[in-house]
Amino acid sequence: MPPKKSIKVIVGLGNPGPRYANTRHNVGFMVVDKLAERFRIGITRSRFSGLWGDVNIGDDRVYLLKPQTYMNRSGQSVGGFIKYFKIPTTSMLVIHDDLDLPLGRIKLVRRGGAGGHRGVKSIMEVLGTNEFNRMKIGIGRPRYNEDIEGYVLSPFYADERKTLSKVLDTAVEGIVLVVREGLERAMNVVNAFKLEDEKKRAE
């Protein structure tokens, strides 16, 4: 049984630069930015091919990392960071988008495959393990027959933005719960949330 308070670094996945800032693939960045905003800290230090900062959540010091390598080389930044700070992979929480979950769903998992996500795949390849915690943020599937690459690199639909705002807030609360009370407790709470619009779920 892992220690209750074991998370030492929160990694949000995304692509750097204004071109990608509001795209679905950058929802990991969005969550980490929202967390930093809540605790009024900056993610401005530049090293390890990433931007990073740290925050105290209760009695725990937690690092926040946004790799700046582009998604498919995220492992380069993550690997260097956790090696320098001597953080075990099991004390890392990686936040990323997930096509197989609808917008409004968040899923915490302890391990698993990459599921086609290039950022997660890169981390697994560099670290040589899938033994790290993940927070999957649902982005759903294309409505209008867009190709997958174009879809994930596009902004959310206009009528999704209200739900997205709720998702980001809930994800932040979930992260705080993970740090303070452990992954198992947080999984029981966060994985049960269904924040998507009721009308859309009925359609």
pLDDT in tens, 95-134: 999 999 999 999 999 988 888 899 999 999 999 999 999 9
Q: Which residue among the candidates 8, 16, 23, 25 is catalytic per the annotation?
A: 25
Q: Report CA-CA distances (Å) from 75 to 71, 105, 118, 122, 130.
A: 9, 25, 10, 5, 12
Sheet with 92-98, edge to edge strand ranges = 45-47, 50-57, 60-67, 9-12, 92-98, 133-138, 106-109
Query: Are 79 and 120 a contacting pair, CB within 8 Å?
Result: no
pTM over 0.75: yes
Model pLDDT for residues 7-63, shown as the tens digit of each residue: 999 999 999 999 999 999 999 999 999 999 999 999 999 999 999 999 999 889 999
CA distance 5 to 59: 10
Tell me which residue of 60, 23, 40 sits closest to 182, measured CA to CA: 60
Active site residue 96: no
User: Which pair of structure tokens corresponds to residue 133?
Assistant: 């915690």
Domain 9-202 listed as CATH 3.40.50.1470? yes
Phi-psi region of 112 (alpha: psi -120 to 50; beta: other; left: phi over 0): left
CA distance 136 to 108: 6
CA distance 79 to 195: 33
**pLDDT at residue 3 is higher than 50:** no
DSSP 155: B
pLDDT for 5:
54
